[in-house]
Amino acid sequence: DAGVTQSPTHLIKTRGQQVTLRCSPKSGHDTVSWYQQALGQGPQFIFQYYEEEERQRGNFPDRFSGHQFPNYSSELNVNALLLGDSALYLCASSFTQDRISTDTQYFGPGTRLTVL
Amino acid sequence: AQTVTQSQPEMSVQEAETVTLSCTYDTSESDYYLFWYKQPPSRQMILVIRQEAYKQQNATENRFSVNFQKAAKSFSLKISDSQLGDAAMYFCAYGLAGTALIFGKGTTLSVSS
What is the tens place of the pLDDT at every residue in B20-68?
Answer: 999 999 999 888 999 999 999 878 899 999 998 988 889 999 999 999 9
pLDDT-wise least confident of B14-18, B58-62, B90-94: B58-62
Of residues B83 and A103, more confidently modeled: B83
Give me chain A's average pLDDT, please: 93
Q: What is the mean pLDDT of chain B?
A: 94
Percent of chain B with pLDDT over 70: 100
pLDDT tens for A43-93 read 999 999 998 999 999 999 999 999 999 999 999 999 999 999 999 999 999
Q: Which residues sit opposite B71 in a β-bridge?
A: none
**Which residue of A lies nearest to B108 if distances are taken between CA atoms?**
A40
Tell me whether residues A100 and B97 touch, CB distance under 8 A.
yes
Judge contact between A12 and A116, C-beta under 8 A: yes
Helix ranges (DSSP H) in A6-64 = none
pLDDT of residue B62: 95
Over residues B89-108, mean pLDDT: 92
Contact list in A for residue B45 (CB cut-off 8 A) is: 43, 90, 92, 107, 110
Asked if the C-beta of A92 comes within 8 angstroms of chain B's C-beta atoms, the answer is yes
Alpha-carbon B1 to chain mean position: 20
pLDDT of the residue at B96 = 86
Confidence at residue B31, expressed as pLDDT on a 0 to 100 scale: 87
Is B100 close to A104, i.e. CB distance below 8 A? no
Residues 6+ apart with CB under 8 A from B82: B13, B14, B15, B16, B17, B18, B19, B63, B111
Interface check for A39 against chain B (CB to CB < 8 A): the answer is no
State whether B50 and A103 contact (CB < 8 Å).
yes
Supply the DSSP string of B60-103, one letter for each residue. EETTEEEEEETTTTEEEEEE-S--GGG-EEEEEEEE-TTS--EE
Sign of torsion over alpha carbons A104, A109, B100, B30: positive
A3-7, B14-18, B52-56: which has the minimum mean pLDDT? Answer: B52-56
Structure confidence at residue A99 as a pLDDT band (50, 70, 90)? low
Res A96: pLDDT: 78
